[in-house]
Structure 1
Amino acid sequence: MSRCIQLGTHLHKPVKNFGTMALYFVNDIAVIVMDNGENRLNKKFVLEFDELLDYVESNSSCHGLITTSEGKFYGNGLDVDWLNGISAEETGDFFLKFSKLLMRLLLFPLPSLAAINGHAFAGGALFAITHDLRVQRHDKGWLCFNEVLINEQFIQFHIPLMRAKIGPGQIYTDAIILGKRYTGSEALDCGLVHAAPSMSLLLSESIQLLKSFSGKSGYPRKSLHLMKSDVYRDVVSQYQKDLSNDHIKERWCRSPNNKKAKL
């Protein structure tokens, strides 16, 4: 099945293609399509995505960013097999780069939307929640912060990040502490996503939703970046603290699921 049929909106030839992800433009909206099976997070993912963000940001006529994927998964968390095959120094470097990418996406000077086409677990869910807006197909796939179920812990700046995105209270307890799985319809009911269309309408409704905010002229980029920096000041502050005390680099070494941690 072709990409344009699966996503429900015709996508012309990509302007950038890395094999595992590609960048398209639908008029003035950039669409990054991830296509690497479970789309697990590793160094290759971070470097490719970061380069695509450079290209999007360099396009002065672009008014918004959408990320989505092919297949069953939007993102299935960390590439644990890859992490367990590299050195501690390389692992620390990866977590620094991934954290930097999350912060870049959080403060991106364009409105961003995650079009969740399938399962988004753990780091994949965190990646999705970092966007300004989220749309999840209603019929298949779960959005789930399942770290508690796989004996993992969050990096400290993830906590104010998720609190800012989800808010305190019952939903935060259910989603973050207890690792509840949400279908698209359930995620819509509790405000984790902004819409839950069918797969055939996922991308078209995502574009429509994003443009309903940005309009014809888009946002002033500097103003949007500064607004996000102010609103997410607690996240930025904790991120800087995590950098200064090496918490990010040391995080994986304390993970009970990492083979190196058991040596």
Structure 2
Amino acid sequence: MCETHPSPNPQMDTASLCTVEKRGRVHIITLTGGGEHRLGPALLSAIRSAVAAVQATPGAGALVIAAEGKYFSNGFDQAWARVAPRHLHASMEEAFRGLVADLLALPMPTVAAVTGHAAAAGCVLALAHDTVVMRASRGFLYMSEVDAGLKIVDFFAELLRQKVPDAVTRRDLLLRGDKMTAVEAVRRGIVDAAVDGGVDDVMTAAVQAAEALAAKGWKGEVVAEIRKSMWPALWPKVKDHGADSPARARL
């Protein structure tokens, strides 16, 4: 479901769900098309396959995840959930739990290039990266559950508790449903950089940040183990769903 392109400026097939591009030691996974990039089973499977392909590539030094169009991701695919048999509903949450585990266990630094709105699970996906670079002029972080009347998933809450340590900011995100711009998110310590300009400027900043991290030459296994140890309450909630978990290996 993801296409791999070795050149710096590949011709992307917008009919696919995502593409993988390599620029030196930096790999870029881009969610393609102008839609909302809703995180349903198909897209989650595609992203996880792309992450696994990057991990298996010799010399991969850092990963950037980005998206085309107005949205980074508008959360879970509620349209799919409305028509899918109820017994399949848990598969979407489990797949996303697995993607978070994959990112936490990935043996390289990760950067989210948030060029548009990141809502609910999309916001969680952005914050699951080591570094978040966000477009200053467009897009916001938004945890929509309180407005939508939905309970928050346990690992969402734990990830936000770890990544948003300020209690007032967590309250504003979760209990007030505030839509935070890049500038506000930087001020509150959630986002690392608010980049002026358009999509290309955000991508340039994200790739430069990833290149700087890749140039450190860190041992990937050490990066992964330190990351997991930094979030000791989050990792146990997701690890059994990750690509490297013993349970998945037996499937």
Which bracket does the TM-score occupy, shorter chain normalised? 0.7 to 0.9
Residue 99 (structure 1) shift? 1.0
Q: Deviations over 1:153-212 (max 9, x none)?
A: 221122221111111321111122222111111111111111111223111111122233
Larger radius of gyration: 1
Q: Does 1:91 align with 2:76?
A: no
Q: Tell me the SS of whatever aligns to 1:114.
A: strand
Q: Tell me the SS of whatever aligns to 1:40.
A: coil
In structure 2, distance between residues paired with 1:238 and 1:227: 17
Q: Does 1:32 align with 2:29?
A: yes
1:176 match = 174
* Equivalent AA in structure 1 for residue 189 of structure 2: G
In structure 1, distance between residues paired with 2:114 and 2:23: 18
* Equivalent AA in structure 1 for residue 23 of structure 2: V
Residue 78 (structure 1) shift? 1.2
Would you say the 8 A contact 1:18–1:48 is kept in 2? Answer: no
Using the aligned pairs only, state the percent identity.
Answer: 22
Q: Does 1:120 align with 2:118?
A: yes
1:105 match = 103
Q: Tell me the SS of whatever aligns to 1:134.
A: strand
Q: Say which is worse superposed, 201-210 or 68-77, in terms of deviation.
A: 201-210
**In structure 2, do the counterparts of structure 1 residues 71 and 187 end up closer, same or farther at CA, with 3 Å as the change threshold?**
same
In structure 2, distance between residues paired with 1:176 and 1:236: 21
Would you say the 8 A contact 2:135–2:202 is kept in 1? Answer: yes
In structure 1, distance between residues paired with 2:85 and 2:150: 19
**In structure 2, do the counterparts of structure 1 residues 49 and 238 end up closer, same or farther at CA, with 3 Å as the change threshold?**
closer
In structure 1, distance between residues paired with 2:163 and 2:68: 25
1:142 match = 140
2:50 match = 52
Unpaired segments ≥5 residues, structure 1: 1-9, 243-263
Q: Tell me the SS of whatever aligns to 1:154.
A: coil
Q: Tell me the SS of whatever aligns to 2:53.
A: helix
In structure 1, distance between residues paired with 2:129 and 2:216: 21
Would you say the 8 A contact 1:15–1:23 is kept in 2? Answer: no
2:231 match = 232
In structure 1, distance between residues paired with 2:56 and 2:227: 19
- Give the aligned length: 232
2:208 match = 208
Q: Say which is worse superposed, 55-64 or 178-187, in terms of deviation.
A: 178-187
Q: Tell me the SS of whatever aligns to 1:193.
A: coil
Residue 60 (structure 1) shift? 2.0
Q: Tell me the SS of whatever aligns to 2:64.
A: strand
Q: Tell me the SS of whatever aligns to 1:196.
A: strand
**In structure 2, do the counterparts of structure 1 residues 98 and 231 end up closer, same or farther at CA, with 3 Å as the change threshold?**
same
Q: Tell me the SS of whatever aligns to 1:94.
A: helix
- Please, what TM-score do these two structures have when normalized by structure 2? 0.86
Residue 89 (structure 1) shift? 1.9
Q: Does 1:222 align with 2:247?
A: no
- Please, what TM-score do these two structures have when normalized by structure 1? 0.82
Q: Deviations over 1:99-156 (max 9, x none)?
A: 1112211232211111001111111111111111101100011111121111112211
In structure 1, distance between residues paired with 2:205 and 2:95: 32
Would you say the 8 A contact 2:17–2:32 is kept in 1? Answer: yes
In structure 1, distance between residues paired with 2:81 and 2:44: 14
2:246 match = none
